[in-house]
Amino acid sequence: MKRYFAHLGLWFGSLLLALLANLIALGALLLGSDRAWPVAVANDQAFNAALVGKPGSEDETISSTAGKAQRRRKRWGCILCRLIDLVDPGHCDRNIEPDEGEPVQ
């Protein structure tokens, strides 16, 4: 039970830190600073870690994971990369991180 509350405290603390980081990033963005970009990448990596949950995935972006899945012809990767391509053509392919997550095929 003690471990449960420790994990719950860690989760709540990380939630507060993420909220604070995003508020600071918003302020930086509104002031014309590039400081918001690393926060956006960190959010992307955190989302990937929460979805994928494999070793190495905590430092990999959704685009990289989707690009690798697309190369393996996994349906979800193909669909997500097509959607991202509507905004930025070739984004998944350009952002595959060979040194993170699953190996590139």
Q: Residue 15 falls within a domain, yes or no?
A: yes
Q: How confident is the model at residue 57 (pLDDT cuts 50, 70, 90)?
A: confident
Spatial CB neighbours of 44, under 8 Å, sequence gap ≥ 6: 61, 62, 63
Mean pLDDT of 19-46: 93
Q: pLDDT band for 56, please (50, 70, 90 cuts).
A: low
Q: Name, in order, each residue with C-beta under 8 angstroms of 46's C-beta and a sequence gap of 6 or more.
A: 18, 58
- HSE (CB half, 13 Å, CA atoms) of 51? 15
Supply the DSSP symbol for 105.
Answer: -
Q: Is the residue at 99 inside a domain?
A: no
What DSSP state is assigned to residue 45? Answer: H
Residue 105 belongs to some domain of the structure: no
- Please check whether residue 44 lies inside any domain of the structure: yes
Residue 84: inside a domain: yes
Residue 65 lies in a domain: yes
What confidence score (pLDDT) does residue 55 get? 63
- The answer to whether residue 27 sits within a structural domain is yes
